[in-house]
Homo-oligomer: A and B are copies of this chain.
Protein backbone atom coordinates (compact mmCIF):
# COMPACT_ATOMS: atom_id res chain seq x y z
CA UNK A 1 0.00 0.00 0.00
CA UNK A 2 2.74 2.50 0.92
CA UNK A 3 3.71 4.83 -1.94
CA UNK A 4 7.33 4.24 -3.01
CA UNK A 5 8.50 3.41 0.49
CA UNK A 6 10.83 0.52 1.30
CA UNK A 7 12.36 -0.86 4.45
CA UNK A 8 16.01 0.02 5.18
CA UNK A 9 18.45 -2.69 6.19
CA UNK A 10 20.94 -2.45 9.05
CA UNK A 11 23.66 -1.66 6.49
CA UNK A 12 21.72 1.36 5.19
CA UNK A 13 21.73 3.02 8.60
CA UNK A 14 24.78 4.62 10.24
CA UNK A 15 25.89 3.87 13.76
CA UNK A 16 26.19 7.11 15.72
CA UNK A 17 28.92 7.40 18.34
CA UNK A 18 27.47 8.12 21.73
CA UNK A 19 24.22 6.18 21.29
CA UNK A 20 23.40 2.57 22.06
CA UNK A 21 20.14 1.12 20.77
CA UNK A 22 18.13 -1.59 22.57
CA UNK A 23 14.74 -3.21 22.13
CA UNK A 24 12.70 -5.62 24.20
CA UNK A 25 9.33 -7.26 24.66
CA UNK A 26 6.84 -6.13 27.29
CA UNK A 27 3.87 -7.90 25.69
CA UNK A 28 1.71 -4.78 26.06
CA UNK A 29 -0.57 -5.74 23.20
CA UNK A 30 0.96 -8.73 21.44
CA UNK A 31 3.27 -11.50 22.63
CA UNK A 32 6.65 -12.18 20.93
CA UNK A 33 6.79 -8.65 19.56
CA UNK A 34 9.36 -5.90 20.23
CA UNK A 35 7.43 -3.08 21.87
CA UNK A 36 10.01 -1.30 24.06
CA UNK A 37 12.89 0.70 22.58
CA UNK A 38 15.68 2.33 24.55
CA UNK A 39 18.25 4.80 23.25
CA UNK A 40 21.06 5.16 25.79
CA UNK A 41 23.09 8.34 25.38
CA UNK A 42 26.61 9.19 26.54
CA UNK A 43 27.36 12.27 28.62
CA UNK A 44 27.78 15.80 27.19
CA UNK A 45 25.04 15.41 24.61
CA UNK A 46 22.37 18.03 24.00
CA UNK A 47 18.70 17.51 23.16
CA UNK A 48 16.14 19.57 21.24
CA UNK A 49 12.49 18.55 21.40
CA UNK A 50 9.08 19.62 20.14
CA UNK A 51 5.83 18.11 21.33
CA UNK A 52 2.17 17.97 20.31
CA UNK A 53 0.18 21.16 20.70
CA UNK A 54 -2.91 19.07 21.48
CA UNK A 55 -4.36 20.28 24.79
CA UNK A 56 -5.05 16.64 25.63
CA UNK A 57 -1.35 15.86 25.73
CA UNK A 58 -0.40 12.51 27.17
CA UNK A 59 1.34 11.75 30.47
CA UNK A 60 4.69 10.89 28.79
CA UNK A 61 4.64 14.24 26.95
CA UNK A 62 4.08 16.09 30.22
CA UNK A 63 6.76 14.01 31.90
CA UNK A 64 9.29 14.47 29.09
CA UNK A 65 8.73 18.23 29.13
CA UNK A 66 9.21 18.35 32.90
CA UNK A 67 12.32 16.15 32.77
CA UNK A 68 13.84 18.28 30.02
CA UNK A 69 13.34 21.34 32.18
CA UNK A 70 14.88 19.76 35.26
CA UNK A 71 17.56 17.43 33.95
CA UNK A 72 21.30 18.03 33.87
CA UNK A 73 21.77 16.16 30.61
CA UNK A 74 19.48 13.54 29.12
CA UNK A 75 20.85 10.02 29.31
CA UNK A 76 18.09 7.93 27.73
CA UNK A 77 14.93 7.95 25.62
CA UNK A 78 12.49 5.09 26.30
CA UNK A 79 9.62 4.33 23.91
CA UNK A 80 6.79 1.86 24.33
CA UNK A 81 4.12 0.92 21.82
CA UNK A 82 0.70 -0.62 22.48
CA UNK A 83 -0.42 1.96 25.04
CA UNK A 84 -0.20 5.75 24.68
CA UNK A 85 -0.65 6.50 28.40
CA UNK A 86 -3.03 9.32 27.33
CA UNK A 87 -6.18 10.39 29.12
CA UNK A 88 -4.84 8.56 32.16
CA UNK A 89 -4.62 11.44 34.64
CA UNK A 90 -2.40 11.45 37.72
CA UNK A 91 -1.81 7.70 37.60
CA UNK A 92 -0.56 8.04 34.02
CA UNK A 93 2.06 10.55 35.09
CA UNK A 94 3.15 8.28 37.95
CA UNK A 95 3.42 5.35 35.54
CA UNK A 96 5.55 7.36 33.10
CA UNK A 97 7.89 8.39 35.92
CA UNK A 98 8.07 4.78 37.15
CA UNK A 99 9.26 3.62 33.74
CA UNK A 100 11.88 6.39 33.69
CA UNK A 101 13.03 5.38 37.19
CA UNK A 102 13.48 1.78 36.07
CA UNK A 103 15.56 2.87 33.09
CA UNK A 104 17.59 5.23 35.30
CA UNK A 105 18.36 2.42 37.73
CA UNK A 106 19.34 0.13 34.88
CA UNK A 107 21.81 2.55 33.27
CA UNK A 108 22.89 4.50 36.36
CA UNK A 109 21.47 8.00 36.08
CA UNK A 110 18.73 10.12 37.62
CA UNK A 111 15.06 9.53 36.80
CA UNK A 112 14.85 13.08 35.38
CA UNK A 113 17.54 12.20 32.86
CA UNK A 114 15.20 9.77 31.10
CA UNK A 115 12.54 10.95 28.62
CA UNK A 116 9.52 8.66 28.09
CA UNK A 117 7.49 8.27 24.87
CA UNK A 118 4.37 6.16 24.43
CA UNK A 119 2.13 5.28 21.51
CA UNK A 120 -0.86 2.98 21.28
CA UNK A 121 -4.35 2.81 22.77
CA UNK A 122 -5.47 5.80 24.77
CA UNK A 123 -7.73 5.98 27.83
CA UNK A 124 -6.26 2.72 29.16
CA UNK A 125 -3.84 2.56 32.14
CA UNK A 126 -0.22 2.04 31.12
CA UNK A 127 0.91 -1.50 32.08
CA UNK A 128 4.02 0.00 33.66
CA UNK A 129 5.02 -3.22 35.47
CA UNK A 130 5.27 -5.12 32.19
CA UNK A 131 7.35 -2.35 30.61
CA UNK A 132 9.64 -2.14 33.66
CA UNK A 133 10.18 -5.88 33.52
CA UNK A 134 11.05 -5.62 29.82
CA UNK A 135 13.50 -2.78 30.49
CA UNK A 136 15.58 -5.21 32.57
CA UNK A 137 15.80 -7.63 29.65
CA UNK A 138 16.57 -5.45 26.63
CA UNK A 139 18.93 -6.56 23.87
CA UNK A 140 21.30 -4.38 21.78
CA UNK A 141 20.16 -4.02 18.16
CA UNK A 142 20.72 -2.02 14.99
CA UNK A 143 18.64 1.03 14.08
CA UNK A 144 16.46 -0.94 11.67
CA UNK A 145 15.23 -3.10 14.56
CA UNK A 146 14.42 0.02 16.57
CA UNK A 147 12.54 1.48 13.60
CA UNK A 148 10.47 -1.72 13.54
CA UNK A 149 9.95 -1.79 17.33
CA UNK A 150 8.31 1.67 17.42
CA UNK A 151 5.76 0.84 14.70
CA UNK A 152 2.05 0.63 15.47
CA UNK A 153 -0.18 0.61 12.38
CA UNK A 154 2.76 1.50 10.14
CA UNK A 155 3.16 -0.98 7.30
CA UNK A 156 6.84 -0.12 6.64
CA UNK A 157 9.54 0.79 9.22
CA UNK A 158 10.81 4.35 8.76
CA UNK A 159 14.50 5.10 9.12
CA UNK A 160 17.20 7.03 7.27
CA UNK A 161 20.79 8.23 7.64
CA UNK A 162 22.84 11.15 6.38
CA UNK A 163 26.55 11.94 6.43
CA UNK A 164 28.01 15.25 5.33
CA UNK A 165 30.63 17.92 5.88
CA UNK A 166 29.69 20.52 8.50
CA UNK A 167 32.39 23.16 8.71
CA UNK A 168 35.56 22.72 6.70
CA UNK A 169 37.06 19.69 8.38
CA UNK A 170 34.46 17.59 10.18
CA UNK A 171 31.74 15.32 8.93
CA UNK A 172 28.49 14.75 10.82
CA UNK A 173 26.72 11.41 10.83
CA UNK A 174 23.02 11.29 11.61
CA UNK A 175 20.43 8.51 11.84
CA UNK A 176 16.74 8.91 12.48
CA UNK A 177 13.70 6.70 13.01
CA UNK A 178 10.05 7.63 12.94
CA UNK A 179 6.61 6.11 13.23
CA UNK A 180 3.11 7.15 12.22
CA UNK A 181 0.86 6.58 9.28
CA UNK A 182 -1.34 9.60 9.60
CA UNK A 183 -3.58 10.27 12.53
CA UNK A 184 -4.96 6.83 12.07
CA UNK A 185 -6.88 6.99 15.25
CA UNK A 186 -5.98 8.18 18.70
CA UNK A 187 -5.62 4.56 19.75
CA UNK A 188 -2.46 4.23 17.69
CA UNK A 189 -1.99 7.50 16.01
CA UNK A 190 1.07 9.09 17.40
CA UNK A 191 3.77 10.54 15.23
CA UNK A 192 7.18 10.00 16.80
CA UNK A 193 10.49 11.09 15.29
CA UNK A 194 13.97 10.65 16.77
CA UNK A 195 17.16 11.88 15.12
CA UNK A 196 20.59 11.34 16.61
CA UNK A 197 23.75 12.96 15.23
CA UNK A 198 27.34 13.20 16.43
CA UNK A 199 27.64 16.98 16.02
CA UNK A 200 28.32 19.30 18.96
CA UNK A 201 25.57 21.88 19.37
CA UNK A 202 24.68 23.97 22.40
CA UNK A 203 21.25 23.19 23.86
CA UNK A 204 19.47 26.49 23.02
CA UNK A 205 20.82 26.40 19.46
CA UNK A 206 19.77 22.75 19.04
CA UNK A 207 16.30 23.59 20.38
CA UNK A 208 15.98 26.38 17.81
CA UNK A 209 17.18 24.06 15.04
CA UNK A 210 14.74 21.33 16.13
CA UNK A 211 11.83 23.75 15.87
CA UNK A 212 12.92 24.98 12.44
CA UNK A 213 13.39 21.43 11.18
CA UNK A 214 10.02 20.32 12.59
CA UNK A 215 8.37 23.21 10.75
CA UNK A 216 9.69 21.98 7.38
CA UNK A 217 9.19 18.26 8.00
CA UNK A 218 6.91 16.75 10.66
CA UNK A 219 4.83 19.94 10.82
CA UNK A 220 4.50 20.03 7.02
CA UNK A 221 2.63 16.77 6.54
CA UNK A 222 -1.02 15.94 6.79
CA UNK A 223 -2.88 12.73 6.22
CA UNK A 224 -6.26 13.72 7.60
CA UNK A 225 -5.54 16.87 9.55
CA UNK A 226 -6.01 15.28 12.95
CA UNK A 227 -3.14 15.66 15.42
CA UNK A 228 -2.45 13.27 18.24
CA UNK A 229 -2.05 13.56 21.98
CA UNK A 230 1.47 12.09 21.94
CA UNK A 231 3.31 13.56 18.92
CA UNK A 232 6.97 14.16 19.71
CA UNK A 233 10.10 14.98 17.72
CA UNK A 234 13.56 14.89 19.31
CA UNK A 235 17.05 15.65 18.01
CA UNK A 236 20.04 14.49 20.02
CA UNK A 237 23.55 15.81 19.32
CA UNK A 238 26.15 13.55 20.95
CA UNK A 239 29.15 15.88 20.44
CA UNK A 240 31.32 12.91 19.41
CA UNK A 241 32.58 14.11 16.02
CA UNK A 242 35.43 16.12 17.53
CA UNK A 243 34.42 19.54 16.26
CA UNK A 244 33.92 22.63 18.39
CA UNK A 245 30.39 23.34 19.61
CA UNK A 246 27.98 25.24 17.37
CA UNK A 247 26.75 27.76 19.93
CA UNK A 248 25.05 30.43 17.87
CA UNK A 249 22.83 30.46 14.81
CA UNK A 250 25.11 32.88 12.96
CA UNK A 251 27.79 30.15 12.83
CA UNK A 252 27.77 29.07 9.14
CA UNK A 253 27.79 25.46 10.34
CA UNK A 254 24.29 26.03 11.75
CA UNK A 255 22.83 26.24 8.25
CA UNK A 256 24.91 23.29 7.03
CA UNK A 257 23.84 21.05 9.90
CA UNK A 258 20.24 22.19 9.60
CA UNK A 259 20.23 21.22 5.92
CA UNK A 260 21.73 17.81 6.67
CA UNK A 261 19.33 17.00 9.51
CA UNK A 262 16.43 18.76 7.75
CA UNK A 263 16.79 16.55 4.72
CA UNK A 264 16.77 13.50 6.99
CA UNK A 265 13.69 14.76 8.86
CA UNK A 266 11.92 15.45 5.56
CA UNK A 267 12.59 11.90 4.39
CA UNK A 268 11.16 10.52 7.63
CA UNK A 269 8.15 12.83 7.59
CA UNK A 270 7.44 12.04 3.95
CA UNK A 271 7.69 8.34 4.81
CA UNK A 272 4.79 8.84 7.22
CA UNK A 273 2.68 10.31 4.40
CA UNK A 274 3.79 7.59 1.97
CA UNK A 275 2.54 5.08 4.54
CA UNK A 276 -0.69 7.10 5.10
CA UNK A 277 -3.78 5.01 5.53
CA UNK A 278 -5.04 3.81 2.23
CA UNK A 279 -2.59 6.13 0.42
CA UNK A 280 -2.09 5.40 -3.26
CA UNK A 281 -0.44 8.72 -4.20
CA UNK A 282 2.12 11.06 -2.69
CA UNK A 283 1.18 14.70 -3.17
CA UNK A 284 3.35 17.77 -2.66
CA UNK A 285 1.49 21.06 -2.39
CA UNK A 286 3.91 23.93 -2.92
CA UNK A 287 2.90 27.57 -2.52
CA UNK A 288 5.37 30.14 -3.82
CA UNK A 289 5.54 33.94 -4.15
CA UNK A 290 3.42 34.39 -1.03
CA UNK A 291 3.49 37.58 1.04
CA UNK A 292 4.67 35.56 4.05
CA UNK A 293 5.25 31.97 5.12
CA UNK A 294 2.09 32.00 7.26
CA UNK A 295 -0.23 32.54 4.30
CA UNK A 296 1.79 30.13 2.15
CA UNK A 297 1.26 27.38 4.75
CA UNK A 298 -2.39 28.34 5.19
CA UNK A 299 -3.15 27.88 1.50
CA UNK A 300 -0.98 24.77 1.14
CA UNK A 301 -2.77 23.16 4.09
CA UNK A 302 -6.24 24.13 2.82
CA UNK A 303 -5.51 22.32 -0.45
CA UNK A 304 -3.71 19.39 1.20
CA UNK A 305 -6.47 18.83 3.77
CA UNK A 306 -9.51 19.14 1.50
CA UNK A 307 -11.31 15.78 1.36
CA UNK A 308 -12.60 16.81 -2.06
CA UNK A 309 -9.13 17.48 -3.45
CA UNK A 310 -7.84 14.26 -1.91
CA UNK A 311 -10.62 12.09 -3.33
CA UNK A 312 -10.01 13.71 -6.76
CA UNK A 313 -6.36 12.62 -6.54
CA UNK A 314 -7.50 9.11 -5.62
CA UNK A 315 -9.70 9.15 -8.72
CA UNK A 316 -6.84 10.56 -10.89
CA UNK A 317 -9.23 13.36 -11.76
CA UNK A 318 -7.64 16.73 -12.64
CA UNK A 319 -10.48 18.53 -10.84
CA UNK A 320 -9.24 22.13 -10.96
CA UNK A 321 -12.41 23.47 -9.42
CA UNK A 322 -11.75 21.66 -6.14
CA UNK A 323 -8.21 23.01 -5.96
CA UNK A 324 -9.28 26.58 -6.78
CA UNK A 325 -12.12 26.44 -4.27
CA UNK A 326 -9.73 25.27 -1.53
CA UNK A 327 -7.33 28.11 -2.34
CA UNK A 328 -10.26 30.48 -2.19
CA UNK A 329 -11.49 29.40 1.25
CA UNK A 330 -8.05 29.14 2.87
CA UNK A 331 -8.71 32.39 4.67
CA UNK A 332 -6.30 34.80 2.97
CA UNK A 333 -8.68 37.75 2.98
CA UNK A 334 -7.14 39.97 0.31
CA UNK A 335 -6.13 37.21 -2.11
CA UNK A 336 -6.49 38.32 -5.73
CA UNK A 337 -7.64 35.15 -7.43
CA UNK A 338 -7.22 36.77 -10.84
CA UNK A 339 -3.42 36.94 -10.41
CA UNK A 340 -2.44 33.54 -9.06
CA UNK A 341 -1.32 30.58 -11.16
CA UNK A 342 -1.71 26.88 -10.51
CA UNK A 343 0.43 24.08 -11.96
CA UNK A 344 0.06 20.30 -11.84
CA UNK A 345 3.74 19.34 -12.13
CA UNK A 346 4.86 21.40 -15.16
CA UNK A 347 1.40 21.94 -16.62
CA UNK A 348 -0.09 25.40 -16.10
CA UNK A 349 -3.71 24.62 -15.33
CA UNK A 350 -5.22 27.83 -13.96
CA UNK A 351 -4.59 31.55 -14.32
CA UNK A 352 -6.63 34.77 -14.46
CA UNK A 353 -9.29 33.31 -12.19
CA UNK A 354 -10.09 30.33 -14.39
CA UNK A 355 -8.72 27.53 -16.51
CA UNK A 356 -5.49 28.36 -18.35
CA UNK A 357 -6.12 29.06 -22.03
CA UNK A 358 -3.64 26.48 -23.34
CA UNK A 359 -4.61 23.77 -20.83
CA UNK A 360 -6.19 20.58 -22.04
CA UNK A 361 -7.86 17.91 -19.92
CA UNK A 362 -5.49 15.32 -21.44
CA UNK A 363 -2.50 17.15 -19.99
CA UNK A 364 -4.06 17.19 -16.54
CA UNK A 365 -5.07 13.56 -16.84
CA UNK A 366 -1.49 12.55 -17.69
CA UNK A 367 -0.16 14.18 -14.51
CA UNK A 368 -2.92 12.78 -12.34
CA UNK A 369 -2.18 9.24 -13.49
CA UNK A 370 1.23 9.41 -11.73
CA UNK A 371 1.78 8.20 -8.18
CA UNK A 372 3.78 11.32 -7.22
CA UNK A 373 2.26 14.70 -8.06
CA UNK A 374 3.16 18.28 -7.24
CA UNK A 375 0.50 21.00 -7.08
CA UNK A 376 2.25 24.35 -7.33
CA UNK A 377 0.44 27.59 -6.57
CA UNK A 378 2.14 30.89 -7.41
CA UNK A 379 0.47 33.71 -5.52
CA UNK A 380 2.37 36.68 -7.05
CA UNK A 381 2.32 38.44 -3.68
CA UNK A 382 5.90 38.23 -2.45
CA UNK A 383 8.90 36.01 -1.83
CA UNK A 384 7.69 33.52 0.82
CA UNK A 385 7.02 29.85 0.17
CA UNK A 386 5.86 26.65 1.89
CA UNK A 387 5.55 22.99 1.03
CA UNK A 388 3.08 20.54 2.54
CA UNK A 389 3.06 16.81 1.87
CA UNK A 390 -0.08 14.71 1.82
CA UNK A 391 -1.61 11.63 0.26
CA UNK A 392 -4.86 10.87 -1.48
CA UNK A 393 -8.08 9.81 0.23
CA UNK A 394 -9.30 6.37 -0.68
CA UNK A 395 -11.93 3.77 0.16
CA UNK A 396 -9.28 2.15 2.29
CA UNK A 397 -9.04 5.23 4.49
CA UNK A 398 -12.68 4.81 5.45
CA UNK A 399 -12.33 1.04 5.75
CA UNK A 400 -9.29 1.22 8.03
CA UNK A 401 -10.80 3.90 10.24
CA UNK A 402 -14.29 2.49 10.39
CA UNK A 403 -13.38 -1.14 10.88
CA UNK A 404 -10.45 -1.21 13.23
CA UNK A 405 -12.46 -2.31 16.24
CA UNK A 406 -14.30 -5.06 14.43
Residues of A near any B CB (own CB < 8 A):
53-57, 86-89, 121-123, 183-187, 189, 224-229, 305-308, 311-312, 314-315, 317, 319-322, 324-330, 332-333, 335, 337-338, 350, 352-355, 393-395, 397-399, 401-403, 405-406
Contact = CB atoms under 8 A, between A and B. Distances in A.
A189 B187 CA distance: 34
Among A308, A315, A406, the one with the most B-chain Cβ atoms within 10 Å of its Cβ is: A308
23 contacts: A54-B328, A55-B328, A56-B325, A87-B321, A87-B324, A89-B354, A122-B325, A184-B308, A185-B308, A186-B321, A186-B324, A224-B308, A225-B307, A226-B322, A226-B329, A227-B329, A311-B397, A312-B402, A314-B398, A314-B402, A315-B402, A315-B406, A317-B405
Instruction: Give the interface SS of chain A, mostly helix, strand, loop or mixed.
Output: loop
A183 B309 CA distance: 11
Nearest to A331: B53
Among A314, A324, A394, the one with the most B-chain Cβ atoms within 10 Å of its Cβ is: A324
A401 B228 CA distance: 27
Contact of A183 (B57, B189, B308): B308
Given A186-B319, A328-B54, A337-B56, A89 B352 contact: yes
B325 A186 contact: yes
Contacts of A317: 402, 405
A287 B140 CA distance: 50
A187 B311 CA distance: 14
Given A123-B354, A312-B401, A56 B307 contact: no
Given A89-B352, A328-B56, A123 B321 contact: yes
A299 to B, nearest CB: 10
Contacts of A183: 308, 325
A90 to B, nearest CB: 9
A81 to B, nearest CB: 16
